[in-house]
Amino acid sequence: MAGLFISFEGGDGAGKSTQLARLAQWFREQGREVVTTREPGGTALGDQLRTLVLHGEDLDERTEALLYATDRAHHVATLVRPALARGAVVLTDRYLDSSVAYQGGGRGLTAERVEELNLWAVDGLLPELTVLLDLDPAQLPARLTGAPDRLERAGSQFHARTRAAFLERAAAHPDRIVVLDAAAPVEEIALQVRSHVERLLVRTG
């Protein structure tokens, strides 16, 4: 059976991990091997990079972009590609589109440059499906819990630019990226995700 690669994207607190867990459970009920993972993180090196980039000292924007790309390169080479090669379903909480939106749009490094860097880092691997959970950043404070990390502290304009970059990217890649309203009830979103996945499974056989 061919592997399947699906990413969940969206602003902080948009409910990605809840939806990812729901979809993982559904795939497991179908008897598929499922690997759930996340960026930054997902590997031992990735967890260290995650701590550095989210909770370390202030970083120059290029350094930040390179750290996310480093995490992604290692994640893809050591975890994602091997899992896909043995036919697993890989569900990741964030992937390359996050860098394009946060470092490209949010930090202003431009989408094209950041995409190019990251496509090189992962040797061209893109998900078959990306679920973008779109949320108005104004709804953020109500949803976030715990102490904010470096990115969450970046301010409302940064988050508005990030959201716009995500939506622009979705418009440019309509075959891969589906946009769902993250403010909808969890169950409704889960049904929409599943219907997109079922369509993908029919398409890919």
- Chain residues binding ligand TYD by CB under 6 A are 12-13, 39-40, 54, 68, 93-94, 98-99, 102-103, 151-152
CB of 28 to ligand TYD, least distance (A): 22
How many CA atoms, within 13 angstroms, populate the side-chain half-sphere of residue 114? 28
Of residues 21 and 31, the one with the C-beta less far from ligand TYD: 21
CB of 10 to ligand TYD, least distance (A): 7
Q: How many CB atoms are closer than 10 A to CB 79?
A: 17
Tokens read off for 148: 């904010």
Q: How far apart, in whole angstroms, are the C-alpha atoms of residue 175 and residue 164?
A: 19
DSSP string, 163-176: HHHHHHHHHH-TTT
Tokens read off for 160: 């508005």
CB of 204 to ligand TYD, least distance (A): 25
Of residues 33 and 45, the one with the C-beta less far from ligand TYD: 45
Tokens read off for 19: 């939806």
Handedness of CA 117, 120, 124, 130 (dihedral sign): negative
CB of 54 to ligand TYD, least distance (A): 6
CB of 117 to ligand TYD, least distance (A): 11
CB of 97 to ligand TYD, least distance (A): 8
DSSP string, 29-42: HTT--EEEEESS-S
Of residues 109 and 197, the one with the C-beta less far from ligand TYD: 109
Question: Which of 171, 114, 145 lies closest to 12, judged by CA?
Answer: 145
Of residues 62 and 203, the one with the C-beta less far from ligand TYD: 62
Of residues 32 and 70, the one with the C-beta less far from ligand TYD: 70
Of residues 32 and 36, the one with the C-beta less far from ligand TYD: 36
Question: Which of 152, 18, 35 lies closest to 92, judged by CA?
Answer: 35
